């Protein structure tokens, strides 16, 4: 079968890989270079617990995908001979106030009651571990099963897989219009001609709304990176003032991330970068003396309920996999599995009902 995927980010390329393995002929249409959008500008945290997700179906899916990650990256690394920097370093959530301490402890108890790991580390124990510690930090919760991947190395590996395994990458190509005949997808008009296919998957991130009414909108985020040494930090810090991600090789510390609903407004701002570096200084003050490597920004694909949109649409053989918000890197393995099973095996995951595009139908009907 022939399939076309709109969007060459982490979701699109992960799905393409699964479908190619199933013997399908896949074309990926990407308006820039594959892997250089939101997937390139992300932090790479695999952090369903550190994110503080509410117990429920979405947390279950995130935990499942986190548990899939080691197998996912080992297979990809073997296929491409590319290290993607996966590191089960654990993620530490500092409390900067008494209120935050209570909130973090309450969430940790919810998770431990579910059988998940997590433990409180007090201020005194932290002071002996780091060269400096922000004066407001009272302690924090460590989630040892949360992890990270170097998202840029991951995208390089997925791109390499696609190029070497015969997936057709139509880069710097605008997807312009879906061709639908009698309620069924038959092809995609692009700036480089029409791609005929048996099915289409919209995985265009923050730009998905152009092709399907999925209530997707961009949330802009600004990030930075600085020099770091191994003695500075031993794991990811995920705090309310900033998150700090030391890469496995300790050549880079990623700092994130702001959130702004400003639409597609390109560029970094003084305000955004000040927020990041203030959060850094209030967490590990001595790092304020390090050299800046890079600043950048990107656009998260969000929905009104901040949950993804995955599965079938009202058009036959038109599917959607988008709206992953802060968790696109984390959810790539499980999303690819869900879409492959749906298209190739006819298996409908139990996640599809909750994350179906149809959940917005009432709102759409009210606007008509």
Per-residue pLDDT of the chain (368 residues; tens, 9 = 90+): 999 999 999 999 999 999 999 999 999 999 999 999 999 999 999 999 999 999 999 999 999 999 999 999 999 999 999 999 999 999 999 999 999 999 999 999 999 999 999 999 999 999 989 999 999 999 999 999 999 999 999 999 999 999 999 999 999 999 999 999 999 999 999 999 999 999 999 999 999 999 999 999 999 999 999 999 999 999 999 999 999 999 999 999 999 989 999 999 999 999 999 999 999 999 999 999 999 999 999 999 999 999 999 999 999 999 999 999 999 999 999 999 999 999 999 999 999 999 999 998 766 655 54
Which residues are CB-neighbours of 170 under 8 A, at least 6 positions away? 27, 28, 29, 30, 190, 192, 195
Q: pTM, whole model, 2 decimals? A: 0.96
Q: How far apart (Å, rounded) are the C-alpha atoms in residues 217 and 208?
A: 8
Q: Is the dihedral of CA 89, 90, 91, 95 positive or negative?
A: negative
Chain-centroid distance, C-alpha 33: 18
């Amino acid at each position: 079968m022939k399939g076309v995927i709109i969007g060459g980010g982490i979701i699109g390329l992960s799905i393409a890989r699964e479908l190619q393995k199933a013997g399908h002929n896949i074309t990926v249409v990407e308006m820039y270079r594959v892997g250089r959008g939101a997937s390139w500008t992300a932090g790479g945290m695999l952090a369903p617990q550190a994110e503080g997700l509410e117990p429920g179906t979405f947390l279950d899916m995130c935990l499942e995908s986190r548990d899939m990650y080691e197998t996912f990256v080992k297979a990809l690394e073997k296929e491409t001979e590319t290290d993607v920097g996966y590191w089960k370093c654990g993620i530490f959530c500092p409390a900067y106030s008494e209120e935050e301490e209570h909130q973090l402890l309450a969430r940790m108890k919810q998770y431990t009651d579910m059988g998940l790991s997590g433990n409180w580390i007090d201020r005194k124990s932290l002071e002996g571990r780091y060269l400096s510690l922000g004066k407001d930090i009272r302690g924090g919760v460590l989630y040892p099963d949360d992890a990270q991947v170097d998202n840029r190395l991951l995208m390089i590996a997925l791109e390499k897989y696609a190029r070497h395994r015969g997936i057709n990458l139509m880069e710097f190509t605008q997807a312009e219009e879906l061709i639908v005949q009698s309620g069924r997808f038959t092809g995609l008009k692009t700036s480089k001609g029409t791609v005929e296919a048996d099915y289409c998957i919209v995985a265009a991130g923050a730009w998905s709304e152009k092709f399907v009414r999925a209530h997707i909108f961009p949330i802009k985020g600004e990030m930075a990176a600085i020099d770091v040494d191994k003695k500075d930090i031993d794991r990811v810090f995920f705090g309310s003032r900033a998150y700090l991600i030391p890469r496995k090789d300790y050549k880079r510390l990623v700092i994130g991330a702001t959130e702004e609903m400003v639409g597609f407004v390109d560029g970094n701002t003084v305000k955004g970068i000040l927020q990041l570096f203030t959060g850094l200084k209030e967490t590990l003050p001595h790092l304020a003396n390090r050299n800046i490597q890079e600043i950048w920004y990107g656009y998260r694909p969000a929905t009104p309920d901040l949950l993804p949109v995955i599965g079938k649409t009202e058009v036959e053989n038109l599917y959607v996999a988008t709206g992953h918000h802060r968790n696109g890197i984390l959810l790539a393995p499980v999303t690819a599995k869900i879409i492959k099973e749906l298209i190739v095996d006819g298996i409908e995951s139990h996640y599809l009902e909750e994350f179906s595009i149809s959940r917005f139908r009432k709102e759409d009907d009210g606007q008509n």
